[in-house]
């Protein structure tokens, strides 16, 4: 499920780079294009989805598609001083989880990498990115891929990780068409 245009428009300001985890069929990428981001990065662990996105966006030189786990994706960026995530404020959309793949892709080690992603984001050289985490409804209810979070207070877990990135982060729970608090947004006022 792509992010809402409302959230993008509220927080985009002068940000030109959009980074997505979980490309799936490319709808989030299309939405970033429609909202006039200049450069888009998206990572996908499922080769079939990655190839579909490559085909869909062929010729778009401003779209960078990576076939990888999000964990390896961020680990490589952390040591790449020239990457926008280490040089400018970006818009990060965390949407990687396994429900689109419905158990068909056994090579996915981490079916819900959001907490790992936030830990890796804390190692980037810029600490005021806009970060949006999708599908909080599953994390709250421990459904489907979010079963691994059973018994955890996910608002508290996310909060700790956001504040570890930047103690000035403001955290808001926002609605989409599926739930009143499906999108978690972390932003600073600077
Ligand atoms: C909800 S879909 C993404 C939807 C897309 N962001 C959109 O807005 O249309 C989740 C995607 O994350 C991918 N995924 C799951 N676990 C992953 C991981 N550990 N690393 C990278 N991609 C992953 C799945 O294969 C799936 O394509």
CATH for 75? 3.40.50.150
Query: For ligand 1, is residue 4 a contact (CB within 6 Å)?
Result: no
181: pLDDT strictly greater than 80: yes
pTM of the model: 0.96
Please tell me the chain's helix, strand, coil percentages from 3-state DSSP, rounded to the nearest 5: 35, 20, 45
Please work out whether the CB of residue 108 comes within 6 Å of at least one atom of ligand 1. Answer: yes
pLDDT at 2: 77
Token pair 């992603």 in the structure block, residue: 117
pLDDT, mean of residues 164-176? 97
Q: What is the mean pLDDT of the segment spanning 66-70?
A: 95
**Number of domains present in the structure of the chain:** 1
Residue 36's Cβ-side half-sphere holds a number of Cα atoms within 13 Å equal to 5
pLDDT of 1 > 70? The answer is no
Please tell me the predicted confidence (pLDDT) of residue 103: 46
Q: Give 96 Cα–ligand 1 centroid separation in angstroms.
A: 4
Question: What pLDDT, on the 0 to 100 scale, is given for residue 86?
Answer: 98
Give pLDDT tens digits for 2-60. 799 999 999 999 999 999 999 999 999 999 999 999 999 999 999 999 999 999 999 99
Q: Is the Cβ–Cβ distance between 99 and 139 less than 8 Å?
A: no
Q: What distances in angstroms separate CA 33 from CA 8, 11, 65, 139, one per listed residue?
A: 11, 15, 14, 28
**15 Cα distance to chain centroid:** 16
Structure token pair of residue 58: 């062929």
* Count of CB atoms situated within 10 Å of the CB of 105: 15
List pLDDT tens digits, range 84-137: 999 999 999 999 998 654 445 554 556 899 999 999 999 999 999 999 999 999
Separation CA 45–CA 166 (nearest Å): 28
- Number of the ligand 1 atom closest to the C-alpha atom of 93: 6
Q: Which domain holds residue 137?
A: 5-187
């Amino acid at each position: 499920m792509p992010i809402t245009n409302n959230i993008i428009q509220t927080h985009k300001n002068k940000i030109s780079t959009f980074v997505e985890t979980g490309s799936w069929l490319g709808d989030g990428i299309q939405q970033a294009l429609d909202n006039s981001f200049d450069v888009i990065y998206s990572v996908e662990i499922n080769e079939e989805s990655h190839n579909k996105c490559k085909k869909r966006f062929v010729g778009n030189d401003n779209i960078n598609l990576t076939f990888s786990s999000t964990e390896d994706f961020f680990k490589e960026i952390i040591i790449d001083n020239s990457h926008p995530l280490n040089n400018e404020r970006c818009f990060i959309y965390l949407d990687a989880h396994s429900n689109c793949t419905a158990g068909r892709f056994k090579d996915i080690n981490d079916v819900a990498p959001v907490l790992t992603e936030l830990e890796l984001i804390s190692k980037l050289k810029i600490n005021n990115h806009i970060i949006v985490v999708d599908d909080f409804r599953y994390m709250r209810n421990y459904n489907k891929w979010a079963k691994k979070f059973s018994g955890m207070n996910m608002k508290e877990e996310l909060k700790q990780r956001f504040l570890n990135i930047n103690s000035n982060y403001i955290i808001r729970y926002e609605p989409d068409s599926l739930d009143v608090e499906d999108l978690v947004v972390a932003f600073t006022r600077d």
